Amino acid sequence: MRFQRGDRRIDLVCTHGCPIYCILSFHCTLVMNFITWNKAYSVYAFRTLIREEGLVLRVNNQRTRRALEKYERRGFTLIEWRNSATGSFTDSFRAKERWIGDSSCWVRQLDTSNVLSQYIPSLAACISFAVPTQYALHVNGFAIIYRRAPAPPNADGVTRWVAHMDCTLLSNGSLSQSYAVSNQFYDQHYT
Protein backbone atom coordinates (compact mmCIF):
# COMPACT_ATOMS: atom_id res chain seq x y z
CA MET A 1 0.00 0.00 0.00
CA ARG A 2 1.27 3.45 -0.82
CA PHE A 3 0.41 6.64 1.04
CA GLN A 4 1.38 9.92 -0.56
CA ARG A 5 1.14 13.58 0.37
CA GLY A 6 2.79 15.92 -2.11
CA ASP A 7 6.23 14.57 -2.93
CA ARG A 8 6.41 12.52 0.29
CA ARG A 9 5.52 8.85 0.13
CA ILE A 10 5.28 5.94 2.56
CA ASP A 11 5.17 2.38 1.28
CA LEU A 12 3.41 0.03 3.67
CA VAL A 13 4.54 -3.56 3.11
CA CYS A 14 2.18 -6.24 4.41
CA THR A 15 3.28 -9.80 5.07
CA HIS A 16 1.61 -12.97 6.32
CA GLY A 17 4.74 -14.17 8.08
CA CYS A 18 7.44 -12.66 10.21
CA PRO A 19 7.73 -8.94 9.33
CA ILE A 20 11.42 -8.80 10.29
CA TYR A 21 12.20 -11.72 7.96
CA CYS A 22 10.46 -9.82 5.15
CA ILE A 23 12.52 -6.68 5.87
CA LEU A 24 15.79 -8.64 6.03
CA SER A 25 14.95 -10.23 2.66
CA PHE A 26 15.11 -6.93 0.77
CA HIS A 27 17.77 -6.26 -1.88
CA CYS A 28 19.84 -3.69 0.02
CA THR A 29 20.60 -2.59 3.57
CA LEU A 30 19.40 0.95 2.77
CA VAL A 31 15.77 -0.13 3.08
CA MET A 32 16.10 -2.16 6.29
CA ASN A 33 14.26 0.41 8.39
CA PHE A 34 10.86 0.04 10.04
CA ILE A 35 8.45 1.57 12.52
CA THR A 36 6.41 -0.26 15.15
CA TRP A 37 3.62 1.39 17.11
CA ASN A 38 6.10 2.69 19.70
CA LYS A 39 9.62 2.60 18.19
CA ALA A 40 11.55 3.38 15.00
CA TYR A 41 14.41 1.14 13.86
CA SER A 42 17.23 1.39 11.36
CA VAL A 43 19.11 -1.92 11.15
CA TYR A 44 22.17 -0.36 9.46
CA ALA A 45 21.90 3.12 10.94
CA PHE A 46 25.47 4.43 10.67
CA ARG A 47 25.92 3.26 7.09
CA THR A 48 22.43 4.37 5.99
CA LEU A 49 21.86 7.61 7.89
CA ILE A 50 25.39 8.97 8.38
CA ARG A 51 27.51 7.61 5.52
CA GLU A 52 24.58 7.34 3.07
CA GLU A 53 25.70 3.99 1.73
CA GLY A 54 24.13 0.60 1.44
CA LEU A 55 25.31 -2.93 0.93
CA VAL A 56 23.68 -4.65 -2.05
CA LEU A 57 22.55 -8.16 -1.10
CA ARG A 58 20.98 -9.28 -4.35
CA VAL A 59 20.16 -8.05 -7.83
CA ASN A 60 17.98 -10.70 -9.41
CA ASN A 61 15.90 -8.67 -11.87
CA GLN A 62 15.51 -5.33 -13.65
CA ARG A 63 13.01 -4.03 -11.09
CA THR A 64 15.64 -4.43 -8.35
CA ARG A 65 18.29 -2.80 -10.55
CA ARG A 66 15.96 0.19 -11.15
CA ALA A 67 15.31 0.49 -7.40
CA LEU A 68 19.05 0.54 -6.70
CA GLU A 69 19.61 3.15 -9.43
CA LYS A 70 16.96 5.31 -7.73
CA TYR A 71 19.02 5.31 -4.52
CA GLU A 72 22.18 6.19 -6.45
CA ARG A 73 20.35 9.18 -8.02
CA ARG A 74 19.42 10.28 -4.50
CA GLY A 75 23.11 10.38 -3.58
CA PHE A 76 23.56 7.05 -1.83
CA THR A 77 26.68 4.97 -2.49
CA LEU A 78 25.99 1.32 -3.19
CA ILE A 79 28.55 -1.32 -2.31
CA GLU A 80 27.98 -4.31 -4.58
CA TRP A 81 31.08 -6.27 -3.65
CA ARG A 82 34.36 -5.97 -1.84
CA ASN A 83 37.71 -7.35 -2.83
CA SER A 84 40.73 -8.70 -1.04
CA ALA A 85 42.56 -5.41 -1.64
CA THR A 86 40.09 -3.43 0.51
CA GLY A 87 40.28 -5.87 3.42
CA SER A 88 37.33 -6.64 5.61
CA PHE A 89 34.63 -4.38 6.99
CA THR A 90 35.04 -3.38 10.63
CA ASP A 91 31.51 -2.17 11.35
CA SER A 92 27.93 -3.33 10.85
CA PHE A 93 28.81 -4.69 7.38
CA ARG A 94 31.31 -7.19 8.73
CA ALA A 95 30.44 -10.88 8.67
CA LYS A 96 29.00 -11.57 12.11
CA GLU A 97 25.79 -12.59 13.80
CA ARG A 98 23.54 -9.66 14.71
CA TRP A 99 20.17 -9.05 16.37
CA ILE A 100 17.45 -6.46 15.93
CA GLY A 101 18.14 -3.77 18.53
CA ASP A 102 21.87 -4.50 18.85
CA SER A 103 24.51 -1.76 19.13
CA SER A 104 24.61 -1.31 15.32
CA CYS A 105 20.86 -0.59 15.19
CA TRP A 106 19.32 2.81 15.68
CA VAL A 107 16.28 2.44 17.94
CA ARG A 108 14.20 5.42 18.99
CA GLN A 109 11.25 5.44 21.34
CA LEU A 110 8.28 7.28 19.81
CA ASP A 111 5.98 9.54 21.78
CA THR A 112 2.88 7.40 22.17
CA SER A 113 1.25 9.48 24.91
CA ASN A 114 -1.69 10.32 22.62
CA VAL A 115 -2.14 6.80 21.31
CA LEU A 116 -5.37 5.20 22.41
CA SER A 117 -3.98 2.17 24.20
CA GLN A 118 -7.27 0.27 24.29
CA TYR A 119 -6.90 -0.24 20.52
CA ILE A 120 -3.40 -1.73 20.76
CA PRO A 121 -3.44 -5.43 21.66
CA SER A 122 -1.37 -6.34 24.68
CA LEU A 123 1.94 -7.86 23.68
CA ALA A 124 1.52 -10.35 26.51
CA ALA A 125 -1.73 -11.56 24.95
CA CYS A 126 -0.13 -11.92 21.50
CA ILE A 127 3.20 -13.45 22.41
CA SER A 128 3.73 -16.54 24.49
CA PHE A 129 7.31 -17.68 24.75
CA ALA A 130 10.10 -17.66 27.31
CA VAL A 131 11.55 -14.27 26.31
CA PRO A 132 10.26 -11.17 28.14
CA THR A 133 7.68 -9.44 25.93
CA GLN A 134 9.54 -6.12 25.66
CA TYR A 135 12.21 -8.01 23.71
CA ALA A 136 9.84 -9.61 21.20
CA LEU A 137 11.44 -7.90 18.18
CA HIS A 138 14.95 -8.18 19.56
CA VAL A 139 14.99 -11.99 19.38
CA ASN A 140 15.14 -11.76 15.58
CA GLY A 141 18.67 -12.42 14.36
CA PHE A 142 20.62 -12.43 11.11
CA ALA A 143 24.12 -12.25 9.68
CA ILE A 144 25.79 -10.97 6.55
CA ILE A 145 28.06 -13.53 4.93
CA TYR A 146 30.43 -13.07 2.03
CA ARG A 147 30.82 -15.58 -0.77
CA ARG A 148 33.67 -15.71 -3.22
CA ALA A 149 32.61 -14.63 -6.69
CA PRO A 150 34.34 -14.39 -10.06
CA ALA A 151 36.56 -11.33 -10.27
CA PRO A 152 35.66 -8.65 -12.80
CA PRO A 153 37.73 -8.47 -16.00
CA ASN A 154 41.21 -6.95 -15.59
CA ALA A 155 41.08 -7.39 -11.79
CA ASP A 156 44.73 -8.50 -11.63
CA GLY A 157 44.16 -11.44 -9.32
CA VAL A 158 41.93 -9.59 -6.86
CA THR A 159 39.46 -11.85 -5.08
CA ARG A 160 35.89 -10.59 -5.24
CA TRP A 161 33.45 -11.17 -2.36
CA VAL A 162 29.67 -10.69 -2.68
CA ALA A 163 27.45 -10.09 0.37
CA HIS A 164 24.43 -12.26 1.18
CA MET A 165 21.92 -12.06 4.01
CA ASP A 166 22.16 -15.16 6.17
CA CYS A 167 18.69 -15.50 7.59
CA THR A 168 16.06 -18.19 7.83
CA LEU A 169 12.58 -18.45 9.26
CA LEU A 170 12.13 -20.19 12.62
CA SER A 171 8.61 -21.43 13.02
CA ASN A 172 7.08 -24.38 14.85
CA GLY A 173 3.97 -25.36 16.74
CA SER A 174 5.45 -24.36 20.10
CA LEU A 175 5.85 -20.73 19.04
CA SER A 176 2.91 -18.39 18.62
CA GLN A 177 4.86 -16.41 15.99
CA SER A 178 7.68 -17.01 13.53
CA TYR A 179 11.09 -15.36 13.88
CA ALA A 180 14.05 -14.50 11.69
CA VAL A 181 17.30 -16.17 12.81
CA SER A 182 20.70 -16.65 11.25
CA ASN A 183 21.35 -20.04 9.71
CA GLN A 184 24.21 -20.50 12.19
CA PHE A 185 21.82 -19.98 15.12
CA TYR A 186 19.27 -22.32 13.58
CA ASP A 187 21.88 -25.04 12.95
CA GLN A 188 23.26 -24.78 16.50
CA HIS A 189 19.90 -24.97 18.24
CA TYR A 190 17.45 -26.77 15.95
CA THR A 191 19.28 -29.42 13.92
DSSP letters spanning 13-57 = P--SS-HHHHHHTSSBGGG-EEE-SSEEEETTHIIIIIS-EEEB-
C-alpha to C-alpha distance for 121 and 34, rounded to whole angstroms: 19
Residue-range domain boundaries for the chain: 2-190
- What count of other Cβ atoms lies within 10 Å of the Cβ of residue 24? 21
Residue 35 contacts residue 75 (beta carbons within 8 Å): no
The tens-digit pLDDT sequence of the chain (191 residues) is 889 999 988 888 788 778 889 899 999 999 999 888 788 999 999 999 999 999 999 888 999 999 999 999 999 999 887 665 455 666 678 888 888 888 889 999 988 887 765 555 554 444 443 333 445 666 788 888 888 877 666 666 677 778 888 888 888 777 777 888 888 888 888 77
Give the pLDDT score at 124: 45
Residue 27 has what pLDDT?
Answer: 92
